[in-house]
Amino acid sequence: MKSLLPCALITGWMFRIAKSQNLGEMTRISDPNNVFVLPSEDVKHEATWLQWPHNYGWDPRHIQRYEDIWVEMTRALHTGEKVRIIVYNWRQKRRVRNVLENNGLDMSQIQFYTYPTDDVWIRDNGPIFVQDQQGNMIVENWKFNGWGGKADWWYDDYIPRDVSWELYLPVTSIPMVNEGGSIEVDGRGTLMAKRSSILNDNRNPGATQAEVEAYFRRYLGVTNFIWLDGTAGLEITDDHIDGTARFANGDTIVTLEKQDFIVPTEYDILTRATDADGKPYKIVHLPLTAKEIPSIGEHGLYINYYAGNNAIVFPIFQDANDQKAIDIIQGLYPDKTVVPIDFTELYLDGGLAHCVTMQQPTL
C-alpha cells in the first residue's frame, strides 16, 4: 500500500501507542527445523476471507468508496469457494447481507463473523493458515503493529485469534511482526521477501536475517530464501514483496518489467533465482498501466491480483494496458476465469486485490 496518513492525523493517540508498542520480541530458535507448512496460494481453498469496509475508522466514507469493489470480489469468488466476511458489528452484518442479497449472490456460500476491525487489509493482519506435521490445520497469529506504527492496529492484531476461535482451530502466537503481504511462498520450500518490510527496526528491532529465517523455517516450512533489499519508507508498508513479485503454479515468478523496478538489481536477483531443488523459475512479466492514474499521479499495478479456486480477482484501471495484462494472467491460469474489477478507488489508499484477501486452504 502507499499511504494511510489520514489515520495518523485522525487518531493521533492510537498512532502514538502503535509507534511504541507491539514490536517483535523474537527469541532465538535453537532448533529451526520446520513444524508447520504454509501451503501455496494455488492450492484448493476452503474459503477466502475479507474484512468488509466500514465508516467507524479513519475514513468516514469507506463504505461509499470501497463497497462496490467488495461486492464484485465476493461475486467473483463465491461460486468456487466460501467467502467469509468479517463485519464490524451486527448493524453492518445486517446491512451487508442485504447488499449482497440485492446483488443476487448465493448467500449459502457467504458467512459472516462479527468483530471490530481498524481497516480492510486482511492480507497483512489476518490469520495465516498452516498445516502441522500430522496434517491438521493451525492458525498462526504473527504480530501486527500497523506497518511499523504508522496506522491503527489494535483491533486488527486480534483477528487471527478471533478467527481461530470461530473455526475451533488451535492458534499459535508468534512473537515476530510479519505481514502477509511481506512474504510469498511457492509451496515447494521457497520463500520470497524484502528486507525493508521485515528486517526493520519499526517491526523487529535488532533482528538478524538468520534469526528471521529460523522463524520462517519453523513456522512456514521453507528452506530456501529469495531476498530483495526493498526500499524502507516506500509507501506505508516499507515495500512489500506482493507489489513486485508473485509465485504462480509452483514454478513461475510473476514480476514487473525490468524498466519498472525502483531497484534494478532486484530484477537481476529474481531472474537468476532458483527453487529449493536448484531449478530456475519461469519468469512472466506484467506491465504497469500505460498512463499514470490522474487521481494518484502513479502508474497502476496489475501484479497484486488474487487467485481463487475458479476466479482471478484482477485489478484494472480503465487503461490501455488492462487487456494486455488480463491476457497474460489468463494464459498463466487457463483453468480459472480472470474477473477484471476496477480498483482505482482502493489504489488511492495504496492497496489492490491481494492486499484485502486471505486464503484458507482445504486440508
Average pLDDT over residues 222-229: 98
Q: Which residues of 339-360 are buried (b: 16+ CB within 10 A; e: fewer)?
A: bbbebbebbebbbbbbbbbbbb
pLDDT at 15 exceeding the cut of 50? no
Q: Mean pLDDT in the chain? A: 92
Type of residue numbered 203: R
pLDDT at 340 exceeding the cut of 60? yes
Report the pLDDT value the prediction gives residue 331, as an integer from 0 to 100.
98
The per-residue DSSP string of 337-349 comes to EEEEEE-HHHHTT
Q: For residue range 70-83, what is the model confidence (pLDDT) as tens digits? A: 999 999 999 999 99
Average pLDDT over residues 237-266: 97
Report the pLDDT value the prediction gives residue 116, as an integer from 0 to 100.
98
Report the pLDDT value the prediction gives residue 10, as an integer from 0 to 100.
26
Residue 68 CB partners (closer than 8 Å, separation 6+): none
Report the pLDDT value the prediction gives residue 127, as an integer from 0 to 100.
99
Report the pLDDT value the prediction gives residue 14, as an integer from 0 to 100.
34
pLDDT at 253 exceeding the cut of 50? yes
Report d(CA 224, CA 226) in Å as an integer: 7
Least confident range of 4-13, 194-203, 287-296, 305-314:
4-13
pLDDT at 64 exceeding the cut of 80? yes
Average pLDDT over residues 20-29: 63
Q: Please give the domain boundaries of the chain with CATH numbers for all domains.
A: 37-361 (3.75.10.10)
Report the pLDDT value the prediction gives residue 31, as an integer from 0 to 100.
62
Contact 7, 17 (CB under 8 A): no
Instruction: Name the residue among 219, 263, 211 with its Cα closest to residue 241.
Output: 263
Percentages (nearest 5) of helix, strand, coil residues in the chain: 35, 25, 40
pTM equals: 0.92
Q: Pick 287 or 25 by higher pLDDT.
A: 287
Instruction: List active site positions.
Output: 355
Q: For residue range 130-188, what is the model confidence (pLDDT) as tens digits? A: 999 999 999 999 999 999 999 989 999 999 999 999 999 999 999 999 999 999 999 99
Report the pLDDT value the prediction gives residue 58, as an integer from 0 to 100.
87
Report the pLDDT value the prediction gives residue 11, as an integer from 0 to 100.
30
Report d(CA 231, CA 239) in Å as an integer: 6
Report the pLDDT value the prediction gives residue 85, as an integer from 0 to 100.
99
Average pLDDT over residues 204-214: 96
Report the pLDDT value the prediction gives residue 32, as an integer from 0 to 100.
63
pLDDT at 6 exceeding the cut of 80? no
Average pLDDT over residues 27-47: 84
